[in-house]
Amino acid sequence: MIRVNPEVKFAYNLIKGSPQERREFVGNLNAKLFDSIELSMKGDMGSVESVKPILDTVLPEKKNIKVSTIPFSGDYDGSSSYIYDKKNEIIGQTLEIPAKKGKFTAKGLVAMMHEFTHPLSTLANPKYTARTIKLDRAHKYNFDYFKWYDKVLYTEKNGTSEADKKAHLDMVRNKTEKFLSGKSNEDKLDYIQDARYELEQERNAYEEQLKYAKILHSQKKQVYPTDLENNNNIYMIPEKIAMLKQIGFDVVADIRSNLAKKSKKG
């Protein structure tokens, strides 16, 4: 059984319930973060230095989340990742905020709401980290996997018509089946689940991003026009999650069929 470090998961009594209830739990924490950070801002300017204390106050349990800055490059794309110890064990998470001289604007706050969702979703869903640990220990993360995720799953559709959507999903399915071809059923399930978890996190993060972009826009604060777009629709993330689920069901059906055949032979 894979053990997930307590620093990267909430206690079960906080997160027990359905996936939707966990999403709502994360959404409620994000709402508290947003309100507290917005109150700490002076006009349209906030300080990265204030983020960590606010995060520690809002979280129901103290967790190892390292807040740092990355150079501002003209947009506000931040990042979040795991923290590993010397034994390559996951012991925490990072939250990297793009800033200029330690400051961010309302545009940056929108990006932060997207990025906050990632560590919070991880804390609320220990299965995400457990799957990562499993694949990492088995050295299953490789160039082909990341190419499949980045260049196939996490891509925008071309056009908005139903025909365009179908063509995009057909492409994704064909390339996914090609990536999985020749792999064991266990490996197929691991890759499918891991990619699905990644997409679920992005779906949730884009929902939060859009929500707070609309709030700030309604307050007459400047946000990027692209933050007011439905990125889940642009990337067809819900459809891709559903597709991966169906492929997973097909693999499970194949496993059960093989077991049934062996049972008959026995």
Show the domain range for 47: 6-257
Q: Could you tell me if residue 55 is inside a domain?
A: yes
Domain membership of residue 252 (yes or no) is: yes
- For residue 180, tell me if it sits in a domain: yes
Q: How far apart are CA 30 and CA 28, in angstroms?
A: 5
Choose between 123 and 261: higher pLDDT: 123
Q: Which two tokens stand for residue 70?
A: 């990355």
In the block, tokens 């196939």 appear at 152
Contact 31, 58 (CB under 8 A): no
Give pLDDT, residue 265. 67
Q: Is residue 166 part of a domain?
A: yes
What percent of the chain is predicted at pLDDT more than 70? 97
Number of domains in the chain: 1
Question: Span 133-153, mean pLDDT?
Answer: 96
83 SS3 class: strand
pLDDT tens per residue across span 213-233? 999 999 999 999 999 999 999
Q: Judge whether 131 lies within some domain.
A: yes
Tens digits of residue pLDDT in 180-211: 999 999 999 999 999 999 999 999 999 999 99
| Alpha-carbon separation of residue 198 from 30, 44, 130, 250 (angstroms) | 19, 32, 13, 20
Give the number of other CB atoms < 10 A from CB of residue 218.
8
Confidence check: pLDDT of 86 > 70: yes
Question: What pLDDT sits at residue 261?
Answer: 78
Largest interatomic CA distance in the chain: 74
Is 66 domain-assigned? yes
Q: Where are the beta strands (DSSP E) in 72-203?
A: 79-84, 90-99, 103-104
In this model, does residue 75 exceed pLDDT 70? no
pLDDT of residue 263: 72
Please report the pLDDT score of residue 25 as a whole number.
97
First-to-final CA distance of the chain: 30
Please check whether residue 265 lies inside any domain of the structure: no
Q: How many CA atoms, within 13 angstroms, populate the side-chain half-sphere of residue 200?
A: 23
